[in-house]
Amino acid sequence: MKILLVSVFEGGFQPQTIATAAGALSEIGVEIDALDVYIEDLRFNKVSDANLVAISVPLFDSIQPAIALSKEIRKINPRTHVTFFGQHATIHAQKLASTYGDSCIRGDWEYPLINLARYLMGNNSELVGVLLADDAKKGKSTPVYIGRNDLRVPARSILPPLDKYPQPHVERIMGSKQVVGATEIARGCHHKCLYCSVFAAYNGKVVLIPEDIVLEDAKNLVEQGMTHLSFIDADFFNAKWHGIKIIRKLHEKYPFLTYDFTTRVDHILENRDTFREMVNLGVKFVTSALEFPSEELLDEVEKQITVNDIREAIKFLREIGMKLNPTFIMFNPWTRLEDLIEFRAFIEDNNLQDLIDPVQYQTRLHLYKGSPLLIKKSVKNLELTELEFHYEWKHPDPRVDELYSQLHKPVENGVMKRCCLKC
């Protein structure tokens, strides 16, 4: 049994999803290979004899490249079984399985991939979390699988080296050249912000990655030359003490390492003592989705923070010497033209000019199919155009859309226009 694990794009990082999949599959005696077409060409020899090709779809930005890749794989090896896995495979399983693949995995992928491999080898395996194409075409679905006991150390050795994955924005914030690795301490998120695809995929559930797995993964990344570690969780404080315990141990063993992570504004304010400690443990910056300084927007997406909370968190981080990497939903249905004009004053008042990634000025609310936002009355009242995996929307004020079209520019290949690596 030969399995090819394929990544198309994971925010420019070494792909976590196929590393975790390979770590689990390595225990069942199959031959595993990996391909990251973000930095490698599609290789005929890797595809031509694969019995199973599993394509990772962790981000919305990876859906279309994954579909295009599946078509190329079909041409090379029409007999292979093509499946999709990852967060947006969970959300869009029905369409991906029925139209573009032989199956799709909903939820965590380690155990379902193992069972799918055994099923294809002729074993009588129960396909938990696997939606077969024939079932999808009949309108059937399968429950999301949450695998709390199936996690293994990611298999980094089958992936391209870390120096193939430069992170210019991390280097800009750090002010120096870095070899950046990425890992996670949890999957899912307890919070239920309505725009967030993590909520759509996990429905408020969280799976903690065991501490020993995270530490071993970090060790392997250090051996690949890593100097800076990005924790790519949707929220680093999904468990209050899990992350800080891990960073303490990492700092003791690798005092040269620096870190960043993503968390909410309210968690910054609730964990001030922990943040003060983290400054001394090598945490250099934190990414936080500020959305937009508008009470209406924050209420509409059920963010459960206020504009004053945002201002207080910015002030606190500056006081303790930790940098903020802010992200925004600049263009959204609830922000008026005058709000956009006043946004510059908010940036200047809070001294954020030198910290914002320029791409953040182009961000626009993304209404993917399955988004909880679609149940909101204010969204239902918009003029929506249905596409295959998402909806285009028009702002009630045409001037706002006109401004967006003037500002919008194609971004460099691999640049994220989302709040975090889980969107």
Q: What is the pLDDT of residues 261-273, one digit of tens each?
A: 999 999 999 999 9
Higher pLDDT pick, 417 / 330: 330
Residue 258: the pLDDT is: 98
Q: Are strands 367-368 and 390-394 parallel, antiparallel or unpaired?
A: antiparallel
Residue with tokens 């936080």: 288
Q: Is the pLDDT of residue 414 over 60?
A: no
Instruction: Give the pLDDT mean for 118-146.
Output: 94
In this prediction, residue 20 carries a pLDDT of 98
Pairing of strands 81-85, 180-183: unpaired
Residue 148 — very low, low, confident or very high, per pLDDT cuts 50/70/90? Answer: confident
Identify the band that residue 28 occupies on the pLDDT scale cut at 50, 70 and 90: very high
Q: Write out the DSSP string of 329-390.
A: --B-TT--HHHHHHHHHHHHHTT-TTTS-GGGGG-B--EETT-GGGGSHHHHTSEEEE-SSE
The Cα angle at residue 372 between residues 20 and 112, in degrees rounded to 5 = 25
Q: Which amino acid is at 111?
A: Y
Residue 282 pLDDT exceeds 70: yes
Give residue 423's pLDDT: 63
Q: Which fold has domain 165-407?
A: TIM Barrel (3.20.20)
Band (90; pLDDT cuts 50, 70, 90): very high
Annotated domain spans of the chain: 2-137, 165-407
- Non-local (6+) Cβ contacts of 342 within 8 A are none
Let me know if domain 2-137 sits in CATH 3.40.50.300: no
* Mean pLDDT to the nearest integer, 44-58: 96
Q: Rounded to 10 degrees, what is the CA torsion of 412, 414, 417, 421?
A: -160
Amino acid 278: pLDDT: 98
Confidence tier at 411 by pLDDT (50, 70, 90): low
Question: How much is the pTM?
Answer: 0.95
pLDDT at 305: 96
pLDDT band at 422 (very low <50, low <70, confident <90, very high): low
- Tell me the DSSP string of 91-145: HTHHHIIIII-SEEE-B--HHHHHHHHHHHTT-----TTEEEHHHHHTT---PPB
What's the number of CA atoms in the CB half-sphere (13 Å) around residue 144? 21
What pLDDT score does 416 carry? 52
Q: What single DSSP character describes residue 163? A: G
pLDDT band at residue 358 using 50, 70 and 90 as cut-offs: confident
Query: For residue 380, is pLDDT > 90?
Result: yes
**Of 263 and 355, the one with more pLDDT:** 263
Q: In the prediction, which pLDDT does 247 show?
A: 98
For 58, residues 6+ apart whose C-beta sits below 8 A from its C-beta are: 10, 16, 17, 86, 87, 88, 421, 422
Average pLDDT (333-361) is: 92
**Over residues 175-192, mean pLDDT:** 95
Q: Could you tell me which of 131, 38, 137, 33 has the C-alpha nearest to residue 85?
A: 131
Cα 420 from Cα 423, distance rounded (Å): 6
Q: Output phi, psi for 399, to 5 deg.
A: -65, -30
The single-letter DSSP state of residue 402 is H
Helix intervals (H) in 13-122: 16-25, 44-48, 63-76, 87-91, 93-95, 110-120
What pLDDT score does 409 carry? Answer: 76
What is the rounded distance in angstroms from the CA atom of residue 165 to the CA atom of residue 174? 16
Q: Above pLDDT 70, what percent of the chain? A: 97
Mean pLDDT of the chain: 94
pLDDT score at 354: 87
Q: What is the pLDDT of residue 124?
A: 79
Mean pLDDT of 41-65: 94
